[in-house]
Amino acid sequence: MKLICSAAIFGLVRSEFDTIIQQLAIGIKANNVSVPNTGGPGERAFVDPILSMMQPIYGYGCWCWFNEDWNLAGGPVNDEIDLRCKQLINGYRCAKQDAKSRNEECDPGTVQYNAYNLFMGGNLMDYCEGNNVEICAQDACKIEGQFSLDYLSDFITGNIDNLKDASLQSSAQGGSFDRDIECVVNYVNVGAVDRECCGEQPYRAPFSASKGAHGCCGESLFSVNLQECCADQSVASIGTCP
């Protein structure tokens, strides 16, 4: 069985395509067939076929920089795709920072790990923890696996081309977006020595408590100027906690 990305299915609505994905998974299980990116030893989520499908958003906006280029990400968020890429990069940064606190080194954008099988289903967190020994590998598996799941249907159908904004495509991808100009980092928020991370992977995010802009409430990062942490560890607008 081959995974065929035919133009004939590009016009399907999401519910129809989700059904196809489910049927594909059932067929794979029934026939014991392997497909690319099945979570074999040493595989990564961001390899073919996923990496090729990601090309429309590689070097996209300020935050969609993957593999060895992830350290280039930073600056303002431009759209929903850029926002989701920022969460990916935040996960990377926290994985690296968490490793440092354990006196270890971690490059989550390039570390080898046993990748979650995107087509076979199952719990992502359980798989990543059960099939990877090192915490860095577990984190990368969760971060990249969730990102791939979020856009799997759009990658396979080619709908990612419809979701992206052509004006945010970098010159490396044939666009005119100049990240050196458009993605200038606000250096007021850079260089904090007390940087912490909040939440659980794959939704972990860094913040600086001393700068007073953000805090961590349970597993959620919140803006201290607009929100407050309630007794039940939920986040609410100031003055609206239950």
Q: What is the pLDDT of residue 165?
A: 93
CA atoms within 13 A on the CB side of 64: 27
By the 8 A CB rule, do 95 and 139 touch?
yes
| In the chain, where the domains are located | 11-182, 187-237
Amino acid at 43: E
Distances (CA, A) of 47 to 42, 63, 89: 11, 19, 17
**Cα–Cα distance between 39 and 36 in angstroms, integer?**
9
Distance of CA 183 to the CA centre of its chain: 19
Per residue of the chain (242 residues), what is the pLDDT tens digit?
Answer: 333 333 333 344 445 545 544 544 444 344 443 444 445 556 788 877 788 888 889 889 999 988 888 888 999 999 999 999 999 999 999 999 999 999 999 999 999 999 998 877 789 999 999 999 999 999 999 999 999 999 988 988 889 999 999 999 887 777 889 888 999 876 544 555 577 899 999 999 998 876 777 888 888 888 888 998 999 988 999 989 98
Q: What is the structure's pLDDT at 15?
A: 52
Tell me the whole-structure pTM to 2 decimals. Answer: 0.78
The dihedral through the CA atoms of 159, 162, 164, 166 has a sign that is positive
Give the integer Cα–Cα distance in Å for 148 and 47.
11
The one-letter amino acid at 210: S
CB 142 within 8 A of CB 127: no
Extended beta strands in 131-232, E state? 195-198, 205-208, 214-217, 220-223, 227-229
Sign of CA dihedral 232, 235, 238, 240: negative
- Are the beta carbons of 20 and 9 closer than 8 angstroms? yes
Q: Give CA separation, 184 vs 61, 65, 93, 178, 181, in Å.
A: 12, 15, 18, 10, 6
Report CA dihedral (207, 209, 211, 212) to the nearest 10 degrees.
Answer: 110
Lookup: tokens for 219: 């597993």
